[in-house]
Chain A
Amino acid sequence: MSSAQSKIILAELLKHLGFDATVEEHALEEGPLLEVKTEDAGRLIGRKGQTLVALQYLTNRLLFQQDQQAPKVLIDVANYRSQARDTLIAKAKEAAEKVRRWGDIVELEPLNAFDRFIVHHALKDDPNVETHSVEVDGTNKKAVLLRPKRL
């Protein structure tokens, strides 16, 4: 029931913003995903995805207000999130390869918690690399540190 609620909320937000869009719902491992189809995808994603972030945040806030038990939803537009996720995993694997070949310690750029989770998750079964999150000065994000696994 609750995901139908989130779909209504998102459709309502989009309509009020003047976007001609349809919303499809998918069930993902991590929770429900609402996929937005619209001609004006670029505008809805925003610079560095910030509009999409704001849209997802507000949808979840409104959903929580209606039903505190409702699972948080993910929102994607034009596969922006799934592509960003693939790029991130590719970057993580590339860094892991560097660690494996040269024994280097590699630090990725500062990422938010959700993106770090993706990196840790992508490398958790790698026999050669271990991953940690470390604080970075000047930002409240942390960076993922990759180093050779000590046997």
Chain B
Amino acid sequence: MQAFLEYVVKGLVDQPGAVTVTPVAKDDLTVYELRMDPKDVARVIGRQGTTINAIRTLMLVGSAKLGKRCVVEIVEDKPVESGPAR
């Protein structure tokens, strides 16, 4: 499942080298922490979250096939300069 996430996200962004996926497993729940170049975040989320929701839908299906559950979170470590745009 981590390979799926990396394949999709790296295929969407301008800076695939900056993409990292950190799985945090707890029982049958795995949280995938997703980090990337701040400029690429918008592209991975998509308009009204379409892209990230499609990714989550498929991640859930893939995990369910293995009898597991998962959560995909985008982590922004550094605050974006001068705060959010809106």
A residues contacting B by CB (< 8 A) are 9, 12-13, 16-19, 40, 43-44, 46, 50-51, 53-55, 57-58, 61-62, 65-66
Residue in B4, B50, B62 whose beta carbon sits within 8 Å of that of A57 in the complex: B50
Instruction: Please measure, in the bound complex, the distance between the C-alpha atom of A81 and the C-alpha atom of B31, giving whole angstroms.
Output: 33
Residue in B1, B54, B62, B65 whose beta carbon sits within 8 Å of that of A58 in the complex: B54
Residue in B4, B46, B53 whose beta carbon sits within 8 Å of that of A17 in the complex: B4
Q: Which of B12-70 contact A (CB under 8 A)?
A: 12, 46, 50-51, 53-55, 57-58, 61-62, 64-66
Within 8 Å CB of B1, what residues of A?
16-18
Are A46 and B8 in contact (CB-based, < 8 A)?
no
Within 8 Å CB of A43, what residues of B?
61, 64-65
Are B7 and A16 in contact (CB-based, < 8 A)?
yes
**How many residues does chain B have at the interface if contact means C-beta atoms less than 8 Å apart?**
20
Instruction: Please measure, in the bound complex, the distance between the C-alpha atom of A44 and the C-alpha atom of B55, giving whole angstroms.
Output: 14
Instruction: Please measure, in the bound complex, the distance between the C-alpha atom of A40 and the C-alpha atom of B64, giving whole angstroms.
Output: 12
Task: Provide the main secondary structure of the chain B interface.
Answer: helix
Within 8 Å CB of A44, what residues of B?
61
Are A61 and B51 in contact (CB-based, < 8 A)?
yes
B residues contacting A by CB (< 8 A) are 1, 3-4, 7-8, 11-12, 46, 50-51, 53-55, 57-58, 61-62, 64-66
By beta carbon, the residue of chain B nearest A51 is: B61
Are B66 and A58 in contact (CB-based, < 8 A)?
no
Rounded to whole Å, the gap between the CB of B41 and the closest CB of chain A is 15
Instruction: Please measure, in the bound complex, the distance between the C-alpha atom of A58 and the C-alpha atom of B12, giving whole angstroms.
Output: 9
A-B CB contact pairs (8 Å), 22 listed: A12-B7, A13-B4, A16-B1, A16-B4, A16-B62, A17-B58, A17-B61, A18-B1, A18-B66, A19-B65, A43-B61, A43-B64, A43-B65, A46-B61, A51-B58, A54-B54, A55-B54, A57-B54, A58-B55, A61-B51, A61-B54, A65-B12
